[in-house]
Structure 1
Amino acid sequence: MSDRLQALSDAGVSIWLDDLSRERIETGNLAGLVDEKSVVGVTSNPTIFAAAIANGERYDEQVAQLVDKGEPVDRVIFELTTEDIRNACDILRPVAERTAADGRVSIEVEPALANDTEGTIASARALWGAVDRPNAFIKIPATKEGLPAITAATAEGISVNVTLIFGIERYREVMDAYLSGLEAARDAGLDLGRIQSVASFFVSRVDTEVDARLDGIGTDDALALRGKAAVANARLAYAAFQNVIASDRWKVLAEAGANPQRPLWASTGVKNPDYPDTLYVTDLVVADTVNTMPEKTLDAFADHGEVTGDQVTGRGDAAQSIFDQLTAAGIDFQDVLLVLETEGVDKFKKSWDELVDTVKAQMDKAAAR
């Protein structure tokens, strides 16, 4: 067991792996990460699945069977990915039984539905039913059209990982959508204790976009702010979370057995090699949060990460000061958020196209045998 990762876990940060493959599942690698590196959850996305399917032979038999049945590529993707999520959920089940909030494995609705509310709801239902594991999460993007889908899915008892959150105002809307879903679930007589949720707040992409703009401005004041926006943004998000769970509206739901929608720090792999490779873990340590890491970041923290107490609570004023300085330097953060969400949805769609192309290639190989 890594002492550094254990210290992170002891500080109240749930460590999730941002990767999944059938090889990890079948070789015991995932179970080993749970046992040895404090991993208590898994997130996935189409790019992760594309890499897994392209680089491994463990999908070949199932692909061949589905091709023999004449299944189209979208159905093949559905069957391959839900199989992996289901099996990963089974590996994480003991964690879920022990902790309730963790032991979760996330699968994403088709990204092309990011601006289609009804399509997202239908996809969430289909994925939830196919995986058929209580410790699954269905990832729904925090677009304007995704917000009512979050409410609808939660109202039906589907546990949701809300993804693609960049800004505080949208995050507040996400939390409101979750509470509305819980209220509808309560009124329908559902057991609120069985519903979990996380809100995935993207971190590193904020610095990537803001830093590029600061470099373009080029003044000493601007350059001194590089690498500060992402952590400040996340700290403000946590302050918004604290405000919600202190509200009377939340207290009523909590008394009815509801679980809080924990903040999840996503996109925590450092993009700029000049920054510490554990930056978005070390500087965002706070209880009742999740940090989902690519394995490279997980290994880096296990090797040299530091836990020096709560780095988030009570730092909202300092974080707001960073944004005041960014504004003074000429950064239009609302435009940054617009660009990040637009690019985020576009990247999601491109990653789906990549997965489709990968699976088509595997299907062609199977058909040619």
Structure 2
Amino acid sequence: MTSVPSRTPEEAEPAGAPPPALDRRPCDEQLLAARLVPSRKPGQWVSAVASLVLLAMLVHTLLTNDRFQWDVVDRYFTRAPILHGLALTLWLTAAVMVSGYLLGVGIAAMRLSGNRVLRALSFGYVWIVRSVPPLVQLLFWYELASLYPRLSLGVPFGREFVTFRTAHMFSGVLAAYVGLTLDVAAFSAEIVRGGILSVDRGQTEAAQALGLGRGRVFRRIVLPQAMPAIVPASGNLLIGLLKATSIVSVIAVQDLLYSAQLIYNQNFLIVPLLVVATIWYVVLTTLLSIGQHYVERHYARGRTSGSGGSAARTGRGVWETARAGLSLFGATRRDLAGLS
């Protein structure tokens, strides 16, 4: 058995000398000079082609089916009754969203309060309102006169100073406004509460340790960090409210849908008038979705990373993500089998 002689300090390589070149073979040169080709994704191409074919079939049947009566749709699309109902729908959506959100912020503050009575009352309000369908709430407010024919103001359980009848007080528009406002307040309270709770409590404690007041801490620290969580849910609530205003047609409020119903009850052109209302709803929700996108992008600045995250940012498809998860599951199972 021969031993390898050790190298003397004189034979050692000088400090700072470049490392010896790797022994490269001809095949290595070809591999290094090869052009990188992206991986093939047949599943994405098949799903894309199938989706385009289905979309083309849908557009074709919409345009070639004479029963839609597109000429009637074009004739009634900008009629005065339709535009009047559209204006009432927009006004009702805006008024309910503003007042309901202001009330919801107050309820969220009660939910986060240290007072147990306020927390219990706000929880009870959110629980009961979210449990009752909006249509049932509208009907209750519209029939308030049958439940309380007379309302009064005065000392609780004592003398009454002002008394008035409710027979003609709650019109359809007022009942729709009150019912939808109370419904939006319950949902917006949970949205605001969830956004505030998403902020790490250490942020508030650090700001208070620096001597900042509670109001300034909320405006400068908590609210900017809570807005990225509040804005998407609030945008969805607004879009849902716009579509939910169509239920006010049940109590004879002349919104967009009820205006279309009044017209087709006279000329019996049901489908074209429903298509008119549908197109207007699609246009309005599209505009709101675009606005929501820009608001979300404004409040999400600096929060998204450019190098990783979801499959949409990394460019990974659904099949690649699922395959990676399966491989990870298999590797974990082999590791657990080796430990047992």
More strand by share: 1
Report the TM-score when normalising by structure 2. Answer: 0.22
